[in-house]
Structure 1
Amino acid sequence: MSDLFDAAIAAERRASTLLCDRLRSTEPITRAGLNAAMVEAYGGTDADGFWTQRDSFEILEHALAHHLQFGPYPLLKLSDASAACDLLERLPTQTVRSEDQIEWQQFSTPVDLAAVVVLLANLQNDDIILEPSAGNGLLVAHCRSYAALQLNEYAPVRRARLRHVFPDAVVTGHDGATINSTLANAPRPSLILMNPPFSRSVGLGADAHAAVRHLQAALRRLRSGGRLVAIMPDWFGPSARMRDLFETTLRDVSVRTSVRLEKCYLKHGTSIAVRLFVIDKVPGAAVPATIQRGSIRELIKALTIHERADLVVTPPVTPKRSSSPSLFRAMKSSRAEPRPYHAPARNNVLPVSYTPLDTAAPLLDQVGVYLPYRPSRIVFDAAGEHPTALVESVAMGSIAAPVPGYVPQLPERTVSERLLSASQLETVVYAGHSWTQFLPGRFKPSKEGVGLDEAEDGRAYRKGYFLGDGTGAGKGRQVAACILDNWLAGRRRNIWISKNEALLEDARRDWTALGGLAADIQPLSNWKIDQPIPLDQGVLFVTYPTLRSARGDHSRLQQLIDWAGDDFEGVIGFDEAHEMGGVAGGEGALGKKEGSQQGICGVLLQNNLPGARVLYASATGASEVNNLAYAVRLGLWGPETAFSNREQFIAEIRKGGIAAMELVARDLKALGLYTARALSFAGVEYEILRHELTPQQITIYDAYADAWAIIHRNMERALELTAVVDGLENATLNSGAKAAARSRFESTKQRFFGQLLLSMKLPTVIAAVEYHLAQGQSVVLQLVTTAESILNRRLGDLSPDERADLEIDLSPREYV
């Protein structure tokens, strides 16, 4: 076998040498000429089985990479790329594809497109160049001078060719989507040139987002200030469907050039259109207008080579450790010595090491009704403190959590680089600990309602975990960490449910911060309600309104259950879980009300996936009993509890008021099922900035108050004229219409005066901002509204002539 392999390599090298000689001439290489070279080198024809037509095209690319290494034409300015166009026209069209080529999306870069890529890269003599999917080396073969060359190629045969053409390069064979981890020991590149597979991934097979996974990994690998030039699929752009993924991927970088090219791959056997991006790893700027052309010759006249940014030298990450501060005053004692920090050699997945405490850690000094927070039963070996001190109530702090037995597996850098604090890692430990347990008994979903019925032939339901942290504790980061722990354990289907579509960006931010790819999180709305979800693995992002939606015989809930499968054991993260708080119904302003549909759907999802690892996240978990009615996985009612069902639990706890809720929260923490921390206000000071109304402002306010009084009187008269109320008998004839009208009036009036008062206060606010900026201080302003919806309505009403000369009034008068 070894002799046969050596003979094949020798024949390939002979064919490559013959083709190199023909490339140095100015004659075209026809199919007949290519076949003749192959017959001469291999000693037989393709019909005799000595080689295949696909082999001939691969060896031609191998010879072409050799030829380009000797600089057959200068490549100093964009017009030089026309010589590459001439070379391409001399080559035969590739008309045969192999199964391996299709399997691994091996479509090499045409020489004219490769020349443009290298020119736009603005190569520097000290560049460390990386090509993550190098193929036969046609993209980097144009590069003349550099400090080092790193070539990565997954296919072994192509990898061997790279070593032959580029003997001084470091050649590796990793999955291009994982290079940020697998190449961790290599120097970081300052320039990356890439043409990734568009729709196939290692281990995944068909993968619509393969190119994005490769691009995101490359951007992480690139040095700060470095440049990346990427050939991407045509769909990767700011279109309506892909805008979120596009903007998330390029959020922290600057796109210098954006190009769309048609028919540039005709010589390689496909008419696919592609996009070309020049990206600098510097703080983001607006994406430029896309240049669209049909050929490289047309394109080079429209391009500009941009100057390179300065490379940033990143200092080593230092640990962040602190002693426990007091709660309401700045700490004056000296800080604890930082523990030694060792930079990670690789981003391996390792157990999160910690020491369990048989005796709970001592309580820290109480201030008011709060205690400084500390993990009561865990001491992590390397984790740092939370960036801002955390506290918990005295009632909760006096209860110690149980000794956990679960050890998470996370990427090494999440601990060594303090991507998760000790408090956040504690959540991952206890969530994993609770998910190893099951509720007492076996159950089946009730045929009616949202309950579970005990049944001997039923299934065991896995316990859940409740994260009740307040703002600033990083609930999203903790949800992402819990999903990542399970992802790395092989559970690659997970569900993230949140309040609205705008939070998709936050979810992707937290997921990518821990090492995931933005493309791993896909919104359920990408697929129609009556279609099965083709996503083989990933995190489905679902909003509560989407979860409850249905059309005809199809529902999002059933679509989600079908995707998860009966044996689903992944994480269901209910972010903003209080959105399900209406599942039990109750007394409202207009009397008794039924359970909310989104709460019901949230509970039904839990009931239909008994093996799911359920994580509730809400800052208002223990504030009202209905905010626990959806938490069916905490074991608050049912077998081996004091309450036979949820209805009894709600009725009894409601009688006990807030004190009973506090006891429930304490018991849940003692069982390791609940935690609730909040930010400390240590060192925070505030003072009120008061604005004195001027006589003119008082006059304006009074005039508008009189105007609203007139509107109020006229509205009451309108209610009489429309038979909503009877003015003679002072009786209400339609209570619903009357309540709706008055509610609309009062809410509009409040918004009007809110904006009016805000505008009156602005002179004082602006003066204060200017004063603090002059003192070298930072100023943060919270925007209550951007008036975007009003602006969109007003723009929609304008004619083309009015749009050309915009003059729009967005003042509070809109409400009048």
Structure 2
Amino acid sequence: MSNLFDVTPASERRAATLIVDRLRADGPLGRGDLNAAMCEAFGGSDADGRWTQRDSFEMLEHALAHYLQFAPYPLRVLSDVTAACDLLDRLPTQTVRSEDQIEWQQFSTPIDLAAVAVLLADVQDDDVILEPSAGNGLLVAQCRGYRALQLNEYAPVRRARLAHVFPDAIVTGHDGATINSTLAAAARPSLILMNPPFSRSVGLGADSHAAVRHLQAALRRLMPGGRLVAIMPDWFGPNARMRDLFETSLRDVSVRTSVRLEKCYVKHGTSIAVRLFVIDKVTGGTMPATIQRASIRDLIGVIEVPERGAIRAPAPDPKRSTTLSLFRAVKSSKPAPRPFHAPARNNVLPVAYRTLETPAPLLDQVGVYLPYRPSRIVFEAAGEHPTALVESVAMGSIAAPVPAYVPNLPERTVSERLLSASQLETVVYAGHAWSQFLPGRFRPAREGVGLEEAEDGKAYRKGYFLGDGTGAGKGRQVAACILDNWLAGRRRNIWVSKNEALLEDARRDWNALGGLAADIQPLGNWKIDEPIRLEQGVLFVTYPTLRSSRGDASRLQQIIDWAGEDFEGVIGFDEAHEMGGVAGGEGALGKKEGSQQGICGVLLQNNLPGARVLYASATGASDVNNLAYAVRLGLWGPETAFANREQFISQIRKGGIAAMELVVRDLKALGLYTARALSFAGVEYDILRHELTSAQIAVYDAYADAWAIIHRNMEMALELTAVVDRLENATLNSGAKAAARSRFESTKQRFFGQLLLSMKLPTVIAAVKDHLDAGQSVVLQLVTTAESILDRRLGQLSPDERADLEIDLSPREYV
């Protein structure tokens, strides 16, 4: 065996040789045996500083990787429990951890768990196998009969051992979370076995979603139709906390087997539970029930090997191994051959475009709209928007400035037209705006939401306003702007949106451009009084969350502390009109104070002067208050016509919509604003009229009489509770009277709205059937889903009533 370990130091070669010899014997391999082998090999003891106890366990794993290639853990027949070897029982428990082991999350796969993973992988003769975080090779050491082996390990010492134990393998040293791009030149694997780090990432340190980043990268790397067997942390499952991330990560694949194991890591010095997933890269599968067992031995006889699927085209002749497969007896029938796919590169490249000194000519006007075209940019490789876009004649007649900024995006984002030319133009002009600063230096005012000029203040970066309407892809453009900055090294960004339900939309857009869903994390993952533990990523915040506080702790300060004073990432204010009430103003009941979420949105901008602020709203120019929060557009302050925001709002409000139009035209001319909308050219519509039947009229009249009775009783109740004085016809409590009448009228309107909607349904359903019979598609808009009523009713049910649900969600609930 003198030639087995010749790429490692002589002392390690000798230690591994002695341990392999001991493994081939029948007796137990205790700590004393390990220590004796290490002392002999290194010429001294750990007390002499020649080696450490952690080194001895590393040598044990190194020796096991070699030993298992010749004598795999024998799970020959799943139902035969007696066939399980006691090799694991012979090994010592690893009780010592080093700082490097914790830093790199080097917790190798137990050999019995590895044997089950290999069994479930169902290795085929033509498989290209990849292990993204190979460690000492214990997971793949038991594989047999494959065509090629790719091993990736970031830690250099372990990587050197892998190259020696697996001399025919391709060994690389990349971050496992980036293998989809870093291994682009290698053959794509048809089978991946992985045990990723659970809670630490390269360059990030502590990262609670490290395993998900590695899993998503591996799934992207895997050939279509291929199989991935993954050992994941126990929290990664369809539970309430992680359901969105779990379902997003596995959206386009099929989980064939799901196992939860509680005590399989005891020999490695930890009692953590793990989950084992068998995932095929095909769509249409249903999530299987999770098998829960305490140990591997409890699992044997329960689990079945899912049949492998076939890839679409034939493969080249495979290079067959002369070694018989250990698990040949339990393999399914041989599937059709699978092809070798050429590697797909996706390098980050500058977006190629040329500028036009003379603006592109205007296209023919249709009504009050002009067909949209980038006025100053011609992209070399960008497609048109899927649906034609238009802009108003007033906006279309103004050309944007010639930009100088060149974004950098993944090559396929442009070549495969994941972004249209109009969307790419937004990335260019946003970068162009962010390369400029507002005139003067400022610091946040001690009171209020303003900025004060100060010589020792800071320069504030200009922002960009995306005023596109529905269908132009505002979310995709926000994601593209963040991705451009992400690839420039600005790995902390903030995405502010209307509600939590839009988190999935944000992840969808980010994922479509090549990001990982786990990169976007909701602020709700952290308590309000604890620091945000996210080294890099996109922090997803809702406007209601942004304004929330408890005691001395506030979400706003929590975000500012996470971002840091030198923050230069993107703050994307999606649905930015949610901050529209920041300036207050006149309302139906008199003067209104500024809204808290608008105030917090402005304070966030004021406290992060270097931030790249992106406003996205289709109603940005509808009212002057919808620009009051846009403090980064240079609408007021030094070198402008308005000294402050109050003066700007007052003067523009006097000018009406014409003044607003001038403002946004000037912003477009400066390269700070754009507003496109879907073209309705060729769209026709008919009004579908429903004639009320006599029975429906009778129902309506009956309910109208009922509400009249309720109205009279309510007025009497106001009199009896001293809200009004009927004798003097005077109001004694105007607030209570207004609240009661407002509640009554709003409830009545909702009631009759639902009643009339239900009466229209027979005509609507008949029309839907006619369209479907004619081979046409039908889109129905749900104005309300009665979710609040459903939640209220469910909350009132007893356990017995829940078992036999019978709920009335009709408009009678309002009565």
TM-score under structure 2 normalisation?
0.91
Q: Does 1:498 align with 2:497?
A: yes
- Report the residue type matching 1:266 in the other structure: V
The equivalent of 1:392 in structure 2 is 391
Q: Does 1:19 align with 2:27?
A: no
Relative distance call for 1:85 and 1:618 in structure 2 (3 A) is farther
Relative distance call for 1:700 and 1:90 in structure 2 (3 A) is same
Relative distance call for 1:529 and 1:44 in structure 2 (3 A) is closer
Measure, in 2, the Cα distance between the counterparts of 1:7 and 1:278: 35
The equivalent of 1:305 in structure 2 is 305
Q: Does 1:626 align with 2:625?
A: yes
Relative distance call for 1:25 and 1:701 in structure 2 (3 A) is farther
Q: Cα offset for 1:7?
A: 8.1
The answer to whether the 8 A contact 1:383-1:418 is kept is yes
Structure 2: 5+ residue stretches without partners: 315-341
- Report the residue type matching 1:650 in the other structure: I
Q: Cα offset for 1:479?
A: 1.1
Q: Cα offset for 1:43?
A: 5.4
The equivalent of 1:446 in structure 2 is 445
Matched position secondary structure for 1:729: coil
Matched position secondary structure for 2:141: helix
Measure, in 2, the Cα distance between the counterparts of 1:81 and 1:14: 36
Q: Cα offset for 1:623?
A: 0.6
Q: Cα offset for 1:591?
A: 0.8
Q: Cα offset for 1:77?
A: 4.4
Relative distance call for 1:82 and 1:811 in structure 2 (3 A) is farther
The equivalent of 2:92 in structure 1 is 92
Note the alpha carbon deviations across 1:296-338, whole angstroms, 9 max, x for none: 1112344333333444679xxxxxxxxxxxxxxxxxxxxxxxx
The equivalent of 1:317 in structure 2 is none
The answer to whether the 8 A contact 1:223-1:312 is kept is no
The answer to whether the 8 A contact 1:349-1:411 is kept is yes
The equivalent of 2:791 in structure 1 is 792
The equivalent of 1:636 in structure 2 is 635
Measure, in 1, the Cα distance between the counterparts of 2:165 and 2:693: 80
Measure, in 2, the Cα distance between the counterparts of 1:647 and 1:239: 49
Matched position secondary structure for 1:101: helix
Matched position secondary structure for 1:171: strand
Measure, in 2, the Cα distance between the counterparts of 1:471 and 1:707: 41
Q: Cα offset for 1:539?
A: 1.8
Matched position secondary structure for 2:500: coil
Measure, in 2, the Cα distance between the counterparts of 1:684 and 1:83: 71
Q: Does 1:219 align with 2:219?
A: yes
Matched position secondary structure for 2:275: strand
Q: Does 1:277 align with 2:277?
A: yes
The equivalent of 1:167 in structure 2 is 167
The answer to whether the 8 A contact 2:72-2:142 is kept is no
The answer to whether the 8 A contact 2:194-2:230 is kept is yes
Relative distance call for 1:719 and 1:302 in structure 2 (3 A) is farther
Q: Does 1:149 align with 2:149?
A: yes
Q: Cα offset for 1:640?
A: 1.3
Q: How does 1:596-615 map to 2 (within 5 A)?
A: 596-615=595-614
The answer to whether the 8 A contact 2:187-2:343 is kept is no
Matched position secondary structure for 2:572: strand
Measure, in 2, the Cα distance between the counterparts of 1:286 and 1:766: 31
The answer to whether the 8 A contact 2:73-2:115 is kept is no
The answer to whether the 8 A contact 2:113-2:296 is kept is yes
Measure, in 1, the Cα distance between the counterparts of 2:683 and 2:223: 37
Note the alpha carbon deviations across 1:341-388, whole angstroms, 9 max, x for none: xx9952222111110111111111111111111111111111111111
Measure, in 2, the Cα distance between the counterparts of 1:254 and 1:688: 44
Q: Cα offset for 1:259?
A: 2.4
The answer to whether the 8 A contact 1:344-1:416 is kept is no
Relative distance call for 1:105 and 1:42 in structure 2 (3 A) is same
Measure, in 2, the Cα distance between the counterparts of 1:478 and 1:744: 41
Q: Does 1:237 align with 2:241?
A: no
- Report the residue type matching 1:130 in the other structure: L
- Report the residue type matching 1:724 in the other structure: V
Q: How does 1:20-59 map to 2 (within 5 A)?
A: 20-42=20-42, 45-59=45-59
The answer to whether the 8 A contact 1:189-1:221 is kept is yes
Q: Cα offset for 1:741?
A: 1.9
The answer to whether the 8 A contact 1:428-1:478 is kept is yes
Measure, in 2, the Cα distance between the counterparts of 1:80 and 1:406: 67
Measure, in 1, the Cα distance between the counterparts of 2:229 and 2:404: 47
Matched position secondary structure for 1:141: coil
Structure 1: 5+ residue stretches without partners: 315-342
Q: Cα offset for 1:49?
A: 4.9
The answer to whether the 8 A contact 1:85-1:297 is kept is no
- Report the residue type matching 1:464 in the other structure: G
Q: Cα offset for 1:646?
A: 1.1
The equivalent of 1:401 in structure 2 is 400
Q: How does 1:428-577 map to 2 (within 5 A)?
A: 428-577=427-576
Q: How does 1:654-733 map to 2 (within 5 A)?
A: 654-733=653-732
The equivalent of 1:329 in structure 2 is none
The equivalent of 1:324 in structure 2 is none
Measure, in 1, the Cα distance between the counterparts of 2:402 and 2:81: 67
Measure, in 2, the Cα distance between the counterparts of 1:308 and 1:772: 42
Relative distance call for 1:226 and 1:713 in structure 2 (3 A) is farther
The answer to whether the 8 A contact 2:73-2:111 is kept is no
The answer to whether the 8 A contact 1:533-1:563 is kept is yes
The number of residues matched between the two structures is 784
CA RMSD of aligned residues (A): 2.4
Q: Which 10-residue stretch deviates more, 105-114 or 735-744?
A: 735-744
Q: How does 1:286-301 map to 2 (within 5 A)?
A: 287-301=287-301
- Report the residue type matching 1:147 in the other structure: R
Q: Cα offset for 1:107?
A: 0.9
The answer to whether the 8 A contact 1:82-1:297 is kept is no
- Report the residue type matching 2:395 in the other structure: M
The equivalent of 1:326 in structure 2 is none
Measure, in 2, the Cα distance between the counterparts of 1:284 and 1:538: 30
Q: Which 10-residue stretch deviates more, 67-76 or 643-652?
A: 67-76
Q: Cα offset for 1:124?
A: 3.4
- Report the residue type matching 2:798 in the other structure: S
Q: Cα offset for 1:34?
A: 3.2
- Report the residue type matching 1:347 in the other structure: N
Q: Which 10-residue stretch deviates more, 76-85 or 276-285?
A: 76-85
Q: Does 1:586 align with 2:585?
A: yes
Q: Which 10-residue stretch deviates more, 195-204 or 783-792?
A: 783-792
TM-score under structure 1 normalisation?
0.91
The answer to whether the 8 A contact 1:81-1:112 is kept is no
Relative distance call for 1:787 and 1:222 in structure 2 (3 A) is farther
The equivalent of 1:322 in structure 2 is none
Measure, in 2, the Cα distance between the counterparts of 1:535 and 1:588: 41
Q: Cα offset for 1:541?
A: 1.5
Q: Cα offset for 1:42?
A: 4.9
The equivalent of 2:375 in structure 1 is 376
Matched position secondary structure for 2:354: strand
Relative distance call for 1:27 and 1:500 in structure 2 (3 A) is same
Q: Does 1:762 align with 2:791?
A: no
